[in-house]
Structure 1
Amino acid sequence: MRELGKQFRPPLKWIVFGLVGIHLLIAATWGIAYLLLNHIVDWFDPSVGHPIWKQFLTIEVGLFLVFAFGTFARIFIKPVRRQMDWFFHLISAMKELSKGNFEVTLKTNLRYMGQFGPLISSFNEMASELNQMEKMRQEFISNVSHEFQSPLTSISGFARALQRDDLPTDTRHHYLDIIEMESKRLSRLSDNLLKLTSLESKHHPFEAKPYRLDRQLRHIILSSEPLWQEKNIEMEVELPEVTVVADEDLMSQVWINLLHNSIKFTPEGGTIGVRLTVGHKQVHAVLFNSGPDISDEALPHLFERFFREDKSREREGGGSGLGLSIVKKIIEMHGGEIAASNRLKGGAQFAISLPYDN
């Protein structure tokens, strides 16, 4: 704060002007006191004219006027000084913010902030948002490091085991299969990270055009038939004719991700449903399954990056925890909404709303 005060110290000429002004103020006060006293003496009793007495009274009146002027000046200058203090604190806080200290805040006092009030409130809000973003960035880096470290450790361990000459052939093939599986998982994780980064950069290609949403969903369901038939899953499909304006390739990623997740978590002989309905200026798509419910603790975090309700089960299935984040981002790019919930009959449900021009 002292250094800031030195930076904002007025030039020498302004100090000289200030000193001259103070002396002029004293002279003016003395003159006003002298004239005022002469007027009072002449009005009260012209015969009182002793110079010493008059000088004494002049000094008393002058001191009173100086004290009065000083009091009034202090009343008016005090808020300005308070505001300057806030200004110096703001500059100091901005320097801390530029150094990466996002936990800095400014105390608010509506009595003295004046026109700096909205600025200080906005600064505190900005610092809080930056602090939150920094925590999210650190958490993201930690999650990425963890997700890459796990398969890399497996690959390194099994590659080292393959160097043994006495390793049986079937064991060697088993280790190679694991290395291949972990390599593919690393590749999928890298692709999903690049895809999510591209979507969040707002420079991802986005070509919205009219197409039949019901045909797209029907094609994706049929192309996934080997997966759901292998588990004897029953498909309940209600797809009336609906034409939407959207990016067909991006929306295809949404349906593939949600459908494959439903197949993964639906037990043998279970049910998966896909339904389309058209409302006022919106088209609603619902995908549900008869698998396990989503826990209440997981529901609020389901679309967060790297979040997995059952981490061990997801890792075995090759999941990266990025699929639903990508789904949500694509839906938001289209001006839609997605929500997850549990059905009354049991099982998870994903409801998607997209803009629809009748």
Structure 2
Amino acid sequence: MKRWWQRRTLRFRLALWYGLGGTMLMAGFCSAIYLFVARRMARPLDHALRRDLSEIEAHLSVAPNQSLLWDGSPIRYDQRWRHPWVEIWDSHEHLVARLWPLEDSQLDSLPFAPPPGRDNLSIFNVTSNLRLRALSVPMTVPGAPPGWTMRVLRVHQRLDDPLGTLLLIMVIALPVVVSLLVVGGYAITRRWLSPLDEMVHDAEEITAKDLSQRLSVENPNDELGRLATVFNRTLGRLEDSFTALDRFVADAAHELRTPLTTLRSVGEVGLRSSRSAQDYREIIGSMLEEAQRLQFLVERLLKLATAEGGHQPVRREPVRIDQLVATCISELAILAETKNQHLFIDAIECVAQTDPVLFRQALQNIVDNAIKYTPEGGEIRVAVHVGEGMLDVSVTDSGPGIPVEHREKVTERFFRSGDARSRRRGGFGLGLAITHAYMQVLGGDLHYEAANPKGSRFTLTLPTT
């Protein structure tokens, strides 16, 4: 049964649940209407029974010999009874008297004994077309044990009365209404779920070769519209990822092709004719230089893939950031001296819970970039600022800076801005991407802003705990 249910469509299941729920509601509603109408129709009769009871209690009494008296006179059973119908039952549930104008022999059945000791309303079918409504109440008989009961009777209704007609209408109308509910529910769910069919059709058209298509959104405010919107955003992120991956592969292939082509060209030139030992040494030196460049590129790509893939091991420990900055600057100072650049440090004593190796590598990348793009005789300033739960290490150079339209791409792989950051500088455009990935692993971030009056300022933001 469960497997059969799971194979049904969503609109079928919704329509079926709609029909079942409607059936239960309609059945409950019809039952409530029937009981309400029955009670309303019986209310005047119940009042009449109470009036008959008052009349009987005023005129009927039981003699010491348990004979019945009406206004003090013995009741004559040979005459037609013209007063309210009544039965008297003793404490042993034996009928003492039944006073009514009906002939017992002409009835299909007679009322059975009422439950003693409490008021009770009941209905009896004495013939196929005659129904009686009875009110039973306890009565006290002098000299007799308790448990006697008086029951007053009246004609209740005939079987072809309006209540029976109402029941017949409900029995006929209920299947019709349920059928309409099921058909209407199926039509409504089909209409409501039609955007889902369109989404399925649109999704089937989307392939890895063309992620530019999107799901149609009729109403972005309902549940299906919000689902389509979220799916479209996911498709957008996938498209951006595939685009970045394609660009990364193309850029990596281009960067790898250059040293490989150089190696092949140099080797082919060296083999064209006999040369001196000095010439061969120069050729081999050029080939080793390109091989070293190729090895460096591959190592940078591996570092970037490890950091972005979440596989970079992190060993956090208390680190004196001011001391780490000073050590890193002293190691790179020799590079700045070759270009007559001036390094300045503004750092206060501060401690952060971080991985010293990763943070130091990130800082070295930023300082190395600053030295690389700052002209000879320029200045590079490194400052450490401590805030509430965070600290910033900023590196400001006096180089050409980055154009406004390129600033959002500084952390992308193989990105180089114009001539200022060309291959002639010796880079691959991976340093900032690796630095950004390292900072993400450490729970921090990398920010860029233009320096005043010119240059660039890169800031490493790091949590202190």
Letter in 2 for 1:184: Q
Distance in structure 2 (CA, Å) of the matches to 1:114 and 1:327: 42
Aligned with 2:376 (options 265, 268, 273): 268
Q: 1:116 to 1:235 in 2, by over 3 A?
A: closer
Give the strand-richer structure, 1 or 2.
2
Q: Could you tell which deviates more after superposition, 265-274 or 69-78?
A: 69-78
Shift of 1:214: 1.1
Letter in 2 for 1:309: S
Aligned with 2:461 (options 316, 339, 353): 353
Letter in 2 for 1:233: Q
- State the identity %: 26
Aligned with 2:305 (options 179, 197, 203): 197
Letter in 2 for 1:355: P
Shift of 1:131: 1.9
Shift of 1:356: 2.2
Shift of 1:243: 0.9
Aligned with 2:216 (options 107, 115, 128): 107
Distance in structure 2 (CA, Å) of the matches to 1:270 and 1:218: 19
Give the helix-richer structure, 1 or 2.
1
Letter in 2 for 1:347: G
Q: 1:114 to 1:242 in 2, by over 3 A?
A: closer
Letter in 1 for 2:311: H
Shift of 1:171: 4.7
* Structure 2 residues without counterparts, runs of 5 or longer: 1-6, 11-176
- Which residue is 1:334 aligned to? 442
Does residue 1:83 correspond to 2:202, yes or no? no
Contact 2:415–2:429, Cα closer than 8 Å, also in 1: yes
- Which residue is 1:277 aligned to? 385
Aligned with 1:301 (options 405, 409, 416): 409
Q: 1:104 to 1:295 in 2, by over 3 A?
A: closer
Question: After superposition, what is the alpha-carbon deviation per residue over 1:179-198, rounded to whole angstroms, capped at 9, x for unaligned?
Answer: 22221111111111111111
- Which residue is 2:285 aligned to? 177
Distance in structure 2 (CA, Å) of the matches to 1:101 and 1:171: 53
Distance in structure 2 (CA, Å) of the matches to 1:116 and 1:9: 17
Aligned with 2:252 (options 115, 121, 144): 144
Distance in structure 1 (CA, Å) of the matches to 2:222 and 2:341: 67
Q: Could you tell which deviates more after superposition, 290-299 or 171-180?
A: 171-180
Aligned with 1:286 (options 378, 394, 402): 394
Distance in structure 1 (CA, Å) of the matches to 2:401 and 2:233: 38
Contact 1:97–1:127, Cα closer than 8 Å, also in 2: no
1:50-65 aligned within 5 A: none
Question: After superposition, what is the alpha-carbon deviation per residue over 1:233-284, rounded to whole angstroms, capped at 9, x for unaligned?
Answer: 1111122211111111101111111111111122222211111121222212
Larger relative CO (CA 8 A, sep 6+): 1 or 2? 1
- Which residue is 1:231 aligned to? 339
Q: 1:226 to 1:197 in 2, by over 3 A?
A: same
Larger Cα-atom Rg:
2
Shift of 1:116: 2.8
Distance in structure 2 (CA, Å) of the matches to 1:123 and 1:268: 52
| Secondary structure, aligned partner of 1:256 | helix
- Which residue is 2:296 aligned to? 188
Distance in structure 1 (CA, Å) of the matches to 2:264 and 2:8: 61
* Structure 1 residues without counterparts, runs of 5 or longer: 1-6, 11-67
Letter in 1 for 2:368: H
